[in-house]
């Protein structure tokens, strides 16, 4: 006899097929298993260690905004969770479908709708993988200049929902700075659009409500992004400073001077030693654009670096870094962050906090101290994504020696608790671009303080049945 539950599933399946066609709905076991996790530590741990999680019931591939809307309406009728999924390349677990239900893979929404060369903008659906959009633009002589390390494996929808940053963000900004307008399907199925204009004073900018919402407030289906002519040149320079403080001083003065580096990375002493075999603090900087402007900025940079005691290491280390800028995420025999927990009981993650220049120096010192109190913990960091007011710290935290899967997970959260306590005490934010997901969901109340209630009210209003990616961003558990 068919149980009530399976009958409900059968009805839902047929409702979905009616919207999308059978070829765009799957309940195949192997296919559903492929969506159980993502590339976050927790997302990688789940399938390997057989943690009990609900496998998604259905994977759906909408091709149009209307189909997304219809699926969400049906999900509301069935009160079924919906987890939007693009590349699944987030590192905080935002795309893990914690409560099963429907995984909405948006990668068939991959059309470039318009490239406007006069007004320098591209309008596209959000299922495009980042590199694919970049290739399409490159073919016409443009770039959208958003190059996160995951550009091969994550898509526009993920960049927007995760509020991501690329390696050129110091010049070009995070994804929010690149978005002119968006189309969003709200959790109830209603479709809204924001105006794709350079700026507007007509009330609050709703783009910012959905950027970083991690699929909890709807599905972003279309975006208009700024594009740039391909830069004529990109030049690199590297420096070695006596210590981290002097490197920070150089960065602060570079930014105050109004220079616009594409990349600006500073390694702490541990990372300088480990990766660059240098004693001190290693810096790589790049400028792109037309030759004269790039040269002028490099000359100014060299003056500032010299004044802060930096030794000029020439262009080669930076050029090498650029060529191998994605290397660290490829699998290695010696292990990499993504292998942590997958084949071992080791923990690995990055806690990408951000704050003022004053914050960064103090946070580096204090987070390091706090984390190294945990058994088996190592710590090294670099700093990038700069603003006139500060930047981001990127500590690579590995913990080894857990005796069981439970202890491994406990150490993972202990690591984050210890760091977030320092971050909030010193006035920083716990994440610059990795987002919240499962990892930081428990700290959102602290991060937002009183204003979290405002965010929660918005969630309740937009998603009364809590169908959109439940359990994420600190919103209600299912």
- What's the closest the beta carbon of residue 294 comes to another protein, in angstroms? 27
| Contact string (CB under 8 A) for another protein, positions 317-346, x = contact | -------x-xx-xxxxx--x-xx--xx---
Q: Which of residues 51-70 bind another protein (CB under 8 A)?
A: 59, 61
The minimum distance between CB 335 and another protein, in angstroms, equals 9
Candidates 85-93, 115-123, 282-290, 389-397: pick the segment binding another protein (CB under 8 A). Answer: 85-93
**Can residue 242 be called a binding residue for another protein (CB under 8 A)?**
no
Q: In whole angstroms, how close is the CB of 24 to another protein at the nearest point? A: 9
Contacts for 273-280: CB closer than 8 Å, 24+ residues apart: 274/380, 276/317, 278/240, 280/240, 280/241, 280/242, 280/243
The owner of tokens 């998604």 is 56
In whole angstroms, the minimum distance from the beta carbon of 466 to another protein comes to 25
- For residue 59 the two structure tokens come to 């994977």
Say how far apart CA 148 and CA 44 lie, in whole Å. 20
Nearer to another protein, 31 or 446 (CB): 31
A 10 A CB-CB count for 472 gives 26
Cβ closer to another protein: 31 or 300? 31
Strands (E), 159-270: 179-185, 191-193, 219-226, 228-229, 233-241, 263-267
Residue 37 beta carbon to another protein: minimum distance, rounded to whole angstroms: 10
User: How many residues can be counted in the chain?
Assistant: 478
Q: Please report whether residue 88 would count as binding another protein according to CB under 8 A.
A: yes
* Closest listed residue to residue 472, CA positions, set 426, 435, 441, 429: 441
Q: How far is the CB of 451 from another protein (least distance, A)?
A: 33
Question: Between 44 and 363, whose beta carbon lies closer to another protein?
Answer: 44
102 touches another protein by CB under 8 A: no
Six-digit token string for 183? 């189309």
Q: Choose the stretch contacting another protein; rule: CB under 8 A; options: 87-95, 257-265, 361-369, 374-382.
A: 87-95
Hey, what are 14's tokens?
């047929």
Q: Using CB under 8 A, which of the segments 1-9, 27-35, 191-199, 447-455 binds another protein?
A: 27-35
Q: Are 282 and 312 in contact (CB under 8 A)?
A: no
The C-alpha angle with vertex 155 and arms to 197 and 75, in degrees rounded to 5, equals 90
Minimal distance, residue 153 CB to another protein, in Å: 4
User: Which of 16, 20, 25, 35 forms a contact with another protein (CB under 8 A)?
Assistant: 35
Find the binder of another protein among 49, 73, 108, 273 (CB under 8 A): 108
Stretch that binds another protein, among 105-113, 177-185, 290-298, 313-321 (CB under 8 A): 105-113
Task: Identify the DSSP state of 129.
Answer: B
3-state secondary structure 32-55: HHCCCCCCCHHHHHHHHHCCCCEC
Which parts of 119-178 interact with another protein (CB under 8 A)?
127, 129, 131-132, 135, 139, 150, 152-153
Nearer Cβ to another protein (34/293): 34
Distance of CA 187 to the CA centre of its chain: 22
Nearest residue (CB) to another protein, 37 versus 317: 37
Closer to another protein by CB, 59 or 250: give it: 59
Q: Which residues in the 422-461 window bind another protein by CB under 8 A?
A: none
**Nearest-angstrom CA–CA distance, 396 and 398:** 7
| Separation between Cα atoms, residue 376 and residue 411, nearest integer Å | 10
47 binds another protein (CB under 8 A): yes
Q: Is 420 in the site for another protein (CB under 8 A)?
A: no
Look at residue 406 and give its three-state secondary structure: helix
Query: Closest approach of Cβ 346 to another protein, in Å?
Result: 12
Q: Encode 57-66: b = buried (16+ Cβ within 10 Å), e = exposed.
A: bbbbbbbebe
Closest listed residue to residue 146, CA positions, set 211, 193, 63, 194? 211
The rounded Cα 316 to chain-centroid distance in angstroms is 29
**Number of residues in contact with another protein, rule: CB under 8 A?**
43
Please report whether residue 26 would count as binding another protein according to CB under 8 A.
yes
d(CA 472, CA 266): 32
Q: Among the candidate windows 30-38, 167-175, 271-279, 382-390, which touches another protein by CB under 8 A?
A: 30-38
Residues within the interface to another protein (CB under 8 A): 26, 28-31, 33-35, 39, 44, 47, 59, 61, 85, 87-89, 105, 107-108, 110, 127, 129, 131-132, 135, 139, 150, 152-153, 324, 326-327, 329-333, 336, 338-339, 342-343
């Amino acid at each position: 006899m068919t149980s009530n539950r399976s009958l409900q599933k059968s009805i839902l399946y047929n409702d979905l097929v009616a919207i999308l066609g059978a070829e765009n709905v799957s309940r195949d076991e192997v296919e559903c298993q492929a969506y159980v996790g993502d590339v976050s530590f927790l997302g990688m741990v789940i399938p390997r260690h057989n943690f009990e999680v609900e496998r998604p019931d259905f994977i759906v591939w909408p091709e149009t905004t209307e189909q997304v809307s219809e699926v969400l309406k049906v999900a509301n009728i069935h009160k079924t969770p919906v987890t939007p999924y693009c590349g699944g390349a987030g590192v905080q677990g935002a795309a893990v479908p914690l409560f099963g239900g429907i995984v909405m893979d948006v990668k068939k929404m991959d059309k470039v709708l318009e490239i406007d060369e006069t007004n320098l903008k591209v309008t596209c659906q959000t299922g495009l993988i980042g590199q694919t959009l970049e290739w399409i633009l490159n073919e016409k002589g443009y770039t959208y200049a958003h190059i996160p390390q995951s550009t091969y494996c994550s898509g526009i929808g993920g960049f927007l929902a995760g509020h991501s940053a690329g390696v050129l963000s110091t010049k070009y900004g995070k994804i929010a700075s690149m978005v002119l307008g968006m189309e969003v399907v709200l959790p109830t199925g209603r479709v809204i659009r924001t105006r794709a204009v350079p700026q507007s004073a007509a009330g609050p900018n709703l783009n910012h409500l959905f950027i970083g919402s991690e699929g909890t407030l709807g599905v972003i289906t279309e975006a208009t992004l700024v594009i740039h002519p391909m830069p004529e040149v990109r030049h690199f320079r590297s420096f070695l400073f006596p210590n981290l403080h002097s490197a920070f001083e150089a960065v602060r003065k570079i930014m105050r001077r109004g220079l616009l580096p594409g990349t600006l990375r500073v390694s702490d002493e541990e990372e300088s030693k480990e990766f660059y075999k240098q004693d001190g603090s290693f810096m790589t900087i790049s400028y792109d654009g037309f030759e004269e402007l790039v040269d002028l900025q490099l000359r100014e940079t060299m003056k500032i670096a010299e004044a802060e005691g930096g030794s000029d290491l020439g262009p080669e280390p930076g050029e090498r870094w650029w060529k191998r800028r994605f290397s660290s995420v490829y699998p290695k025999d010696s292990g990499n962050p993504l292998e942590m927990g997958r084949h071992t009981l080791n923990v690995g993650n990055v806690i990408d906090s951000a704050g003022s220049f004053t914050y960064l120096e103090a946070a580096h010192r204090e987070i390091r101290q706090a984390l190294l109190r945990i058994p088996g913990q190592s710590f090294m960091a670099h700093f990038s994504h700069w603003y006139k007011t500060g930047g981001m710290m990127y500590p690579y935290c590995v913990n080894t020696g857990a005796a069981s899967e439970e202890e491994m997970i406990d150490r993972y959260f202990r690591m984050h608790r210890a760091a977030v306590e320092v971050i909030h005490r010193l006035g920083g934010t716990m994440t610059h671009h990795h987002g919240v997901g499962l990892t930081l969901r428990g700290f959102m109340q602290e991060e937002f303080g009183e204003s979290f209630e405002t965010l929660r009210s918005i969630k309740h209003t937009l998603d009364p049945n809590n169908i959109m990616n439940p359990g994420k961003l600190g919103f209600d558990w299912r």
